[in-house]
Chains A and B, each alone.
Chain A
Amino acid sequence: MTDAALKVRGLRKSFNQPAVKGIALTIGAGEFYGLLGPNGAGKTTTLRMIAGLLRPDAGTIEIFGIDALADPAAAKRLVAWLPDEPMLYDKLTPLEYLEFVAGLWGMDAGTAERRARDLLERLDLWAERNERCEGFSRGMKQKAALAGALIHDPQLLILDEPLTGLDAAIARQVKDLLLDRARRGCTIILTTHILDVAERLVDRIGIIQAGELRAEGTLDELRRRSGRRDSTLEDLFLRLVGAPQGAAA
């Protein structure tokens, strides 16, 4: 076994043009990592490759020591992926959805049922457990999808813009749940455009632009390297990715 939850080396992916250009990342077990970058920087493509949804053109991905390209099923057993658009079935109820996800990850029925109840209660969806998701608001759908991502107790949780479009109360519930998971040893990788959230939640930050990792470290490390100890993450981010004139302080 290894201490690194995720080791990525020389990751490349092109569609019509290069989207990810040789990214290397190492994320420790139990770490809360924020991958930030402007739109089209290659964040989602990188995360989709790590989650096993896209095959890279080149590079290696190791998840808890498992070669994810050689043995994707074993790697996927440890991972959960939550995109910004909830992966839900409108005609299923939250309970049915969780039963389905638990089946995909091969959980035993008793454990799955117990965890489904815990998660739905924690996310205030228990009262709606037997209602079809088609009538849910975006926030409720996102919470149901998050419950689906957590039901098999993943060791690596990959979240792409999980807070987009959520109101303050639901966003707080999601953040609390994520912090709780991180405290219990779950490794989390998150992308977000809400830099305040990243500043308060994550242990370490990677800033990606044009398919390349431009900077990486804790907020303090990034501040030290920039030479401005009082900078906010927003200032650092805008300076690194090239802000529109007047935007960077």
Chain B
Amino acid sequence: MSAAAGSAPWLLRHELRLQWRSAGKKVPLVVAFGLLFIFLHLVAGLLAYGCRFMPPVAPGALRMGVTFGLAFAFLMMVSSGIVLAVQALYARGDMDLLLSSPLRPRTIMVVRGLAIAATVGGGLGALVLPFANMLALFVTAKWLLAYAAIVCMALLGTGTSLILAHGLFRLLGPRRARLFAQVFGGLLAATVPLLGQIPSAMSATAKQHAASGLMALIASGPGPDSWLWLPARAFTGEPAALAAAALFCGGAFVLATVGLARALIGNSIAAAGSASGRAPAQAVRASRFRTATASVLRRKELRLIARDPWLIAQMAQQMIFLAPLGLMLWRNGVSGVSAAWLLLVVVAGMVGGNLAWLAVSGENAPDLLEAAPVRRFDVLRAKLEAVLLMVAAALLLPIAVAWRADAWLGLTLAVCCTGSVVTSALLQTRFPTPGKRSEFNKRGNGRVGVGLVQLVLVSGWGLTGYLMLQHSPWALLPLLLLMPLPAAGKMFR
């Protein structure tokens, strides 16, 4: 049965449809999601079955473990929720249409909040619920209450995200709020896995100290009835705790969507006004004209990137996600130097690929370039030169530091970073997918093959770097094996 037009369920269906349609190609997505869901059930089934033969976990340790897990999940929800909230409120540009309709503003805010909650809760649920299902099957049916707990957390995460989005708007204004939400969300999302990698970077003694400190914390921590454990108790199937948590989380959601509805809508209208009206003038110092064709093309690319902090933040966010890997590699040495240096090769390739996408596929005025009496090859070459210049400028310092520490390391990094950038950039120019620069985050939609090939190419250069550091004669082997790969990008794009 379909919901009546103009009702809240009807609007919610519309919101969810919009989110679904912005998720890229549907069939591969559904297949990938289905396979992951089945795989997680298998893993969870094995673990849950094994639990039957293991001694029960001490209640204190279980409470603390679940509490940490929930705190992690909550931070992850807020990290994506704040980006979704800022987009939904300040960037989608459909608020004028909705507010000019007979729908009540509060209904709009509640529905928009529910759509965000469905997205953030759905992501977490997909990872957690297979374990709850299997634990319910093999241990106790009370684990099924995790479904309700996920809903509660999604509501709390969304409420918190909306309140933070409101605060960011008040503090920074609509334009910067989006940028900061992105950075803040990225930092938050990267912090938790980063913390998770700390043990791998610790020495054995430090690990022992930390473990004993944790045990002491559990022993001296608040009693089992403390409100601090309420989320853990709710998640592990205590109905009273779950009811209290539901009340608290639902309250936070209502406070954000209903209580702040007027303020959030006011922000949204102000943001729409600032988008359509004149932005504060950003003056730029004028210089004498220089009109050599290659030079103007290169300068244009450099200016467009340098003047777009949002894009820079997007790319920085990707790099933040590599930080846990860096921490993991830090203690692993290759021929006396840290393997973490090789991450530079990966970073160079990713940044090079991203910048090449922006320069080639994200061209704002393709018709202007097409109408100009300049060969396509010359345009492309100038754009790639700009990309190489930008990455070279960013990597110059770290490679110089590496060179100073060990000349062979510096040479290895210089060779592999250059190779990684060039191959990634060429891949992007070989398989361009025109898109708006504002859709940078969605550039991978519908071109999974190209993304995968880029990842393999970049990893291949990393492996070459690893072998070079070992002075291995096989250093070129990964590259020879990867040569035919770019052709595969077309097959899977």
Chain A residues with a Cβ under 8 A of chain B? 51-53, 72-74, 76-77, 79-81, 83, 87-93, 95-96, 99-110, 112-113, 116, 128-132, 134-137, 148
Which residues from A are CB-within-8-Å of B372? Answer: 76, 101, 104-105
The one of A74, A87, A107, A112 that contacts B367, using a Cβ cutoff of 8 Å: A87
Complex Cα spacing A136 to B282, Å: 11
| Known interface pairs A53-B370, A105-B373; A131-B291 also in contact (CB < 8 Å) | no
Can you report 25 residue pairs joining A to B where beta carbons are below 8 Å apart?
A79-B371, A81-B371, A87-B368, A88-B365, A89-B364, A90-B364, A91-B304, A92-B304, A96-B284, A96-B300, A96-B303, A99-B291, A101-B372, A103-B292, A103-B296, A104-B297, A104-B372, A104-B373, A109-B289, A112-B289, A113-B288, A128-B281, A132-B284, A134-B279, A148-B368
| Known interface pairs A107-B291, A134-B279, A135-B280; A95-B303 also in contact (CB < 8 Å) | no
Cβ-based interface call for B456 (8 A): no
Question: Closest approach, in angstroms, between the C-beta of A106 and any C-beta of chain B?
Answer: 6
A104 touches B374 (CB 8 A): yes
Question: Closest approach, in angstroms, between the C-beta of A134 and any C-beta of chain B?
Answer: 6
A130 touches B370 (CB 8 A): no
Question: Closest approach, in angstroms, between the C-beta of A90 and any C-beta of chain B?
Answer: 7
Which residues from B are CB-within-8-Å of A104? Answer: 293, 296-297, 368-369, 372-374
Instruction: Give the contacts of B235-281 with A (CB-CB under 8 A).
Output: 277-281
Chain B residues with a Cβ under 8 A of chain A? 277-286, 288-293, 295-297, 299-300, 303-304, 307-308, 364-365, 367-375
B297 touches A135 (CB 8 A): no
Which residues from A are CB-within-8-Å of B286? Answer: 93, 95, 129-130
B365 touches A137 (CB 8 A): no
The one of B278, B284, B295 that contacts A136, using a Cβ cutoff of 8 Å: B278
Name the residue of chain B whose CB is nearest to the CB of A98: B289
Question: Closest approach, in angstroms, between the C-beta of B100 and any C-beta of chain A?
Answer: 20
Which residues from B are CB-within-8-Å of A109? Answer: 288-291
| Known interface pairs A76-B371, A100-B300, A116-B289; A135-B279 also in contact (CB < 8 Å) | yes
Complex Cα spacing A54 to B354, Å: 28
Complex Cα spacing A87 to B371, Å: 11
Having A74-B373, A87-B368, one finds 16 other A-B pairs with CB under 8 Å, namely A81-B371, A92-B304, A93-B284, A96-B284, A100-B296, A104-B368, A104-B374, A106-B373, A130-B283, A130-B284, A130-B285, A131-B281, A132-B307, A135-B278, A135-B282, A148-B368
Which residues from A are CB-within-8-Å of B277? Answer: 137
Which residues from B are CB-within-8-Å of A99? Answer: 289-291, 296
Instruction: List 7 A-B pairs, minimum CB-CB distance, nearest first.
Output: A103-B296, A135-B279, A104-B372, A87-B365, A76-B373, A91-B307, A87-B368
Name the residue of chain B whose CB is nearest to the CB of A113: B289
Which residues from B are CB-within-8-Å of A92? Answer: 300, 303-304
B375 touches A131 (CB 8 A): no
Name the residue of chain B whose CB is nearest to the CB of A132: B282
Question: Closest approach, in angstroms, between the C-beta of B436 and any C-beta of chain A?
Answer: 11
Name the residue of chain B whose CB is nearest to the CB of A95: B286
Candidate in B278, B372, B374, B375 with the most chain A CB atoms within 10 angstroms: B372
Name the residue of chain B whose CB is nearest to the CB of A85: B367
B373 touches A102 (CB 8 A): no
Which residues from A are CB-within-8-Å of B368? Answer: 81, 87, 101, 104, 148
Which residues from B are CB-within-8-Å of A116? Answer: 289
Name the residue of chain A whose CB is nearest to the CB of B368: A87
| Known interface pairs A83-B367, A89-B300; A137-B278 also in contact (CB < 8 Å) | yes
Which residues from B are CB-within-8-Å of A102? Answer: 289, 291, 296
Question: Closest approach, in angstroms, between the C-beta of A243 and any C-beta of chain B?
Answer: 32
The one of B284, B289, B291 that contacts A106, using a Cβ cutoff of 8 Å: B291
Complex Cα spacing A125 to B290, Å: 21
Question: Closest approach, in angstroms, between the C-beta of B85 and any C-beta of chain A?
Answer: 24
Complex Cα spacing A143 to B201, Å: 59
Which residues from A are CB-within-8-Å of B300? Answer: 89, 92, 96, 100
Name the residue of chain A whose CB is nearest to the CB of B305: A91
A103 touches B295 (CB 8 A): yes
Which residues from A are CB-within-8-Å of B308? Answer: 91
Name the residue of chain A whose CB is nearest to the CB of B375: A73
